[in-house]
Structure 1
């Protein structure tokens, strides 16, 4: 009966294909949503992790995070470089790193900063966040260190020279000051893989800023000594009318809260879709079984009992569910890899692409539950008198 059920899968190709397609899509939708949602959350968390605190101009905290952490949107404005000194003198920070935005090269953001940022470790047990893999850091006039994706997408290499463009549009007025690529960063798995780093003093020089009182930064990456010191800094900056302090992780949590409602909505929809698809599958199997009564009657006449007929029907449904869910998972995972590649190319957020074990559970769960649920139509067919079809 098992062999007969296997060969039966190929005897009615159109009917079986439609059932197979229905099962595959039912399995693919939740797997795809699960992989994209979790992969995106992990990618965003990884991008935010190097930024415990940001200090920037007053305005939208989301815009400050988007511009500084994800290199998107326009800067709110600049703040005096002396804010760096105030933070250091507070005694509440481990380190501060200036970040100056406003120029680009072929759409790749130029970041003015200090060379010390290449030694910054968000986690003391890990390698530096921006680790130089090839070449060297700032040590000569016009030095530029570029991200790993900038190398691939812009075609720059060590020794190449380029001119920055004022503003964020990839076409515009070029500065006279030339930069030379002297170093290439190891991949950091985030938006800064697409950045170009230069000494902040050279950013000021190419914009004609020669006096200390006019030196500004777009944001300050601030590393507090601890949680208590971070709260004390936040309390102090809440009274500041010109400068704001934000915790990027809090902005992301608020975003997650809003996304979570949408995610819950789609989860309910997906579960409903799976239930409806499974019911349709069972009904189609039942009516298909009724149409096979002459075949079942012949099997009974040849000596097959009703229990054997039910076994054959369940085996056929189980194999169809197994093949359908496996192909559905493969379809969903392939679509997820394409989506992850598109997100990385557009937003430079690297999604975790390892298969989620919860998605893999759809294969045995749908196969086992679907086959057990198939006892209902199979039993109904098994109780019918097929002798009238002989």
Structure 2
């Protein structure tokens, strides 16, 4: 009989202790798997969504809240800023591109974002079906939105006030889907995009009664915040924030300070705030990692004790095997194989449970922008399998050496 079969029968002969070892290894591995997947996905989301955005300008308040609301769309905005002042900032020589955002409504929890063509260029968006929005109340929806909300080109829907919930529905105007965006793998997959004029008119129906030439001028300026805005009809208009791209490295030092000191607005750096956010998340992640490692250490001790006791109980059987021709090396391999089979099986179960657990967590997350996916597999998970093998060998090495050095005549004489 091969060493593997003997090891397997030995494991099956002690179902209670073997199950306990499997549970300990699986529990520790599942926690490490969840942490690995979650931290990797969060870091990737932070990097992809803030790519090519140097600065966010918005109302005074929490810089982190401003970043979360204007780039990741998972928090409430800090307030609104005057369009006139936003236009003046957009014309600053340190600014290469300024993309306006107007937030405030949602459709079944999906953010409706008023913006302009600069947003399309910033994220390099492409149309999968239909065309880009051109008129008021025309929208382009992300690929995930189209799938989850069952929307297609030509469909109409009503937005609701607020960033979540559907209690205060704007029934005066219906949005129309004119285009579906190609999947981008970032936050735009979960957004509904329209022009800023639509957002204004949704909250101020009186705008529909403006003269045609005022309407055209207003739409034109709202789509081009970099141009001068002196017309009376925009003096009281507001937007939520500006996404800024710098023109030169010198802007990194000068522009945020100028905004924070000489205006009633605030400037927040996505790179700085994202690092701060991830460091805050990292505190909890590190704590859970140490907890998982502690469980794995207990699992190693448990496997070691199990194999050590098993060796004592089977010493006579092993001695008989030696008399029947089994070599010392074969006994050594039997014990090592038993430890590896226990921990490796526990590691596989733990990885599976980790993926399943994260998928369940992601399913119950309210924000689709920050939703975690348990169906993603990382190359670094191979290290978890390698760790499972190493734990098995480490826990079994001392009992295996004892089996190798066992004295046959002494064991048989005592029996």
Give the Cα separation in 1 of the matches to 2:346 and 2:333: 20
Give the Cα separation in 1 of the matches to 2:270 and 2:400: 57
Deviation (angstroms), 1:260: 2.6
Q: Are the equivalent residues in 2 in contact too, given 1:57–1:244 (CA < 8 A)?
A: yes
Structure 1 residues 215, 166: CA separation in 2 closer, same or farther (over 3 Å shift)?
same
Q: Are the equivalent residues in 2 in contact too, given 1:115–1:138 (CA < 8 A)?
A: no
Deviation (angstroms), 1:86: 1.3
Deviation (angstroms), 1:84: 3.2
Structure 1 residues 18, 383: CA separation in 2 closer, same or farther (over 3 Å shift)?
same
Aligned position for 1:150: 145
Structure 1 residues 259, 202: CA separation in 2 closer, same or farther (over 3 Å shift)?
closer
Aligned position for 1:125: none
Matching of residue 199 in structure 1 with residue 199 in structure 2: no
Q: Which of 268, 278, 283 matches 2:305?
A: 283
Structure 1 residues 49, 351: CA separation in 2 closer, same or farther (over 3 Å shift)?
farther
Q: Which of 126, 133, 138 matches 2:128?
A: 133
Aligned position for 1:167: 162
Q: Scaled by the length of structure 1, what TM-score is found? A: 0.87
Aligned position for 1:349: 370
Alpha-carbon displacement from aligned partner over 1:146-196 (angstroms, at most 9, x marks no partner): 222221222222112223333333111424123211111122333332322
Aligned position for 1:75: 77
- How much is the aligned-residue C-alpha RMSD, in angstroms? 2.7
Q: Which runs of 5+ in 2 are unaligned?
A: 211-232
Aligned position for 1:178: 174
Structure 1 residues 236, 134: CA separation in 2 closer, same or farther (over 3 Å shift)?
same
Q: Are the equivalent residues in 1 in contact too, given 2:303–2:395 (CA < 8 A)?
A: no
Q: Which runs of 5+ in 1 are unaligned?
A: 122-127
Structure 1 residues 223, 171: CA separation in 2 closer, same or farther (over 3 Å shift)?
same
SS in structure 2 opposite 1:134?
strand
Deviation (angstroms), 1:217: 0.5
SS in structure 2 opposite 1:281?
helix
Give the Cα separation in 1 of the matches to 2:360 and 2:52: 27
Give the Cα separation in 1 of the matches to 2:377 and 2:16: 32
Q: Scaled by the length of structure 2, what TM-score is found? A: 0.82
Q: Which moved more, 1:233-242 or 1:258-267?
A: 258-267
Aligned length: 382
Matching of residue 102 in structure 1 with residue 98 in structure 2: no
